[in-house]
């Protein structure tokens, strides 16, 4: 149920997404002021659908599905890890509901916008606690233009970043073929 698609987007598209990120405000909550988060978060609503459609096209072309089988939700987050040593503890993503359709996501996606030659891997693991926490199912290095798709219920963690910045877009997808499983 997990997929890695290398070279999902050209350098020109990735450059455009990085430029978009520079214009997005950073949301700072009271909680953030007290405790520093591991990453800077910039929220993005793809109102025109351009980014969602581009990701949907890559998914359908790579997975052999028809366009209606994959729905990329318009609300996304740009995450920037700018400090060496920052990591993300093992966790499971929440299922999201698309505000317009009322449909629930089945998968999370990460679109890496920068390379990290050392560290920063996203590791899919057996569980978030116990011995299964150490069972590595897959380890995905951040590579510019790489798209990682995994079921939202899949336990995962972000390993310590060594090469900075690590910049990615995170969002939700509904794969119709997987919807019956949830």
* pLDDT tens track for 2-52: 999 999 999 999 999 999 999 999 876 555 544 556 789 999 999 999 999
Closest CA to 172 of 65, 88, 95: 95
φ, ψ at 111 (rounded to 5°): -110, 110
Q: How far is CA 16 from CA 41, 51, 62, 73, 164, in A?
A: 18, 11, 22, 20, 19
**What pTM did the predictor assign?**
0.92
On the question of a cis peptide bond just before residue 180, with omega within 30 degrees of 0, the verdict is: no
């Amino acid at each position: 149920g997990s997929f890695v698609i290398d070279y999902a987007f050209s350098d020109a598209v990735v450059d455009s997404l990085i430029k978009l990120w520079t214009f997005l405000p950073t949301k700072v909550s009271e909680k953030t002021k007290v405790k520093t988060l591991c990453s800077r978060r910039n929220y993005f609503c793809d109102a025109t659908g351009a980014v969602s459609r581009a990701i949907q096209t890559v998914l359908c072309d790579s997975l052999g599905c028809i366009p209606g089988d994959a729905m990329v939700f318009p609300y996304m987050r740009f995450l920037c890890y700018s400090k060496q040593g920052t990591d993300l503890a093992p966790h499971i993503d929440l299922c999201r509901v698309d505000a317009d359709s009322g449909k629930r996501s089945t998968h999370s996606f990460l679109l890496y916008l920068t390379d990290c030659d050392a560290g920063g891997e996203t590791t899919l693991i057996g569980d978030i606690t116990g011995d299964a926490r150490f069972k590595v199912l897959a380890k995905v290095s951040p590579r510019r233009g790489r798209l990682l798709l995994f079921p939202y219920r899949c336990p995962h963690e972000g390993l310590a970043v060594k090469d900075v910045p690590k910049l990615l877009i995170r969002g939700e997808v509904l794969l119709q073929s997987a919807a019956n499983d949830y």
